[in-house]
Copies of this chain bind each other. A is one copy, B any other.
Amino acid sequence: MESRPSGSKSPVGRGKKVRDAVLAATRRELREAGYAALSVENVARRAGVHKTTVYRRWNDRESLIVDAVSEEIGEDIPIPDTGALESDLRSLARAFVRWATSDTGRAVLATLLSDAVRIPEIAEANSRMFQDRLRRARPVVERAAERGEIPPGTVPGEVIRMLVAPLYLRLLVTGEPVDEPVADRAASVAWRAAAAGWLNG
C-alpha cells in the first residue's frame, strides 16, 4: 500500500511512530468528516505531522485512505461455536450488525463503497474483506455439516451470503434500520435454507 521507502534497510525507529499516528488520524478523520471530505492537510495536523511527510510516505490521498482502512478490517467479529448452526448464525449476524452500525463500521463501509467502481485498490480491499470474513466463518457451516444438521455438499459460502445479503441490502440500499431482530430473522432464514438443502450447488 505504501511505496516511498521501498528499499529500506535503515533506521525505522521514527518512521513507525509517524506511520501509526498518521493512519490513526486518518481513521478519526474518516469517522468524522467522511471519505469525500477528508483532506490530507487536516489529517497531517491531527497527527502532529507536516503535510509533506504524509506525501513522502504515501503517493496520494487514495493510498493513504486504503492503507488506513485495510488495517482496520482484521480481527473483528469473533467466530462462535455454540453447538447448533442456527444460534451460531444468529451470533454471527448480531456481531456483524453491531460492527456495521458502529462509527468505525459505518466509516469503513462508506469508504469501501464510495468509489469502489472507480478505484481498483478500493474494490480490491472491499472484496478482500468479504472473502476474509467468508473464510473465517466457514468452520461454522462445516461443523454443522459434520453434525448432520445440514445436507453434505452444502456450500459454506452460500450460507454466509444468504445470511448477510439482507443485512447489506438494508444497510446500503434501502436505508432501513438494521438491528437484532433483523439479524435474527436473517439467521433463521439462512438456517432453514441450508437445512432444506437449497445451498449445495
Q: Which residues of A approach B to under 8 Å, CB–CB? A: 34-37, 106, 110, 113-118, 123, 126-127, 130-131, 161-162, 164-166, 168-169, 172-176, 189, 192-193, 196, 198
Contacts and interface: CB of A to CB of B under 8 A. Distances in A.
Contact of A118 (B36, B115, B189, B193): B36
Nearest to A201: B185
Given A36-B36, A115-B36, A193-B193, A172 B168 contact: yes
Instruction: Classify the interface of chain A: helix, strand, loop or mixed.
Output: helix
The 7 A-B residue pairs with the shortest CB-CB distance in the complex, in nearest-first order: A165-B165, A165-B169, A34-B118, A127-B175, A110-B117, A165-B166, A130-B174
A135 B110 CA distance: 27
Given A113-B172, A168-B169, 8 more contacts: A110-B117, A110-B118, A113-B113, A114-B114, A126-B173, A131-B174, A168-B168, A172-B173
